[in-house]
Amino acid sequence: MMRGMFSAISGLKVNQTMLDVTANDLANVNTVAYKSSRTTFQDSLAQLQRGAAGPGNGTGGSNALQIGLGVKLGSVDNIMTEGAPQTTGSPLDVYIEGSGWFRVANGTPPAVPTAFQWTRAGNFTTNSQGHLITSTGQYVVGRGATATPDGRGGFTYAPNATDSYIQIPPGSTDVSISPDGGVSYVDRNRASPTFERRVTAGYIALGKFANEAGLQRNGGSTWSESAASGAATVDTPGVGGNGRTLAGMLEMSNVDLATQFTTMITAQRGFQANSRVISTSDEMLQDLVNLKR
């Protein structure tokens, strides 16, 4: 009876954990680019009452006799499926169609940071200096743009391998982000040689991981590399298996409400069943104590 009680206690704990994970997913059903989680259980130790025996001496053998001692938390897995796009119309909102993570960091321009975080939340804006930043104030660290004269008085642009901030001069107009990650604007500075021409300020850089589910959550819709995820392979959108960047859209949460409500019901019933085991064991212990009367 005591063994059954402690098994039931372990069941209460893991089902409570399952409900906690589900509650967090439901709380983030409208969080931009949120990735949901899945809870799995594993059986705990089993007490061996009798070992297995092979056939012999006219018998067919017997299986081992074991009594389980409860359950434990197996894993809390990140579900990294792509969320649906939501049209916003803002030119600085970016949706990644396919694989890849935006590279963001805290920094002090002009020094480019070397420690990065990663996010799929592309609700970007600019600060007073024109730097492209996230909603939490982190800089978007991309790649520089190389300008080549086109022979007609203008320039063509291509990404280079230099990590850089993406800066749009204040006062510029017609800011846009292309599918290849190029952030461009129309120069309105009369003193500039590119006055009233479209200029590419830089390119958004995306990172890919061998195991995306191994990334660690930091909060604020950002993630960090871990030993499980491996190091990032960084390139521009559309290169090296990276997805395209689509402006004017955001990635929505990938939380599936039907799945989450089903999980919530399962966790509730699992908790309820284990609590009934404790109540039943208590009644049996009470009957055993009453035998003395």
pLDDT single digits (tens) 263-279:
999 999 999 999 999 99
Domain residue spans of the chain? 2-79+255-292, 85-251
With 0-12 CB in 10 A as exposed, 13-18 as middle and 19+ as buried, what is 283? exposed
Residues 131, 165: Cα–Cα separation, whole Å: 7
Is residue 1 over pLDDT 70? no
Rounded average pLDDT over 103-116 = 94
pTM of the entire structure?
0.87
Is residue 2 over pLDDT 80? no
Rounded average pLDDT over 181-203 = 93
Residues 132, 166: Cα–Cα separation, whole Å: 6
| pLDDT, tens digit (0-9, with 9 covering 90-100), for 173-188 | 999 999 999 999 999 9
Distances (CA, A) of 279 to 57, 70, 256, 266, 274: 46, 16, 35, 20, 9
Q: And the tokens for 110?
A: 């002009």
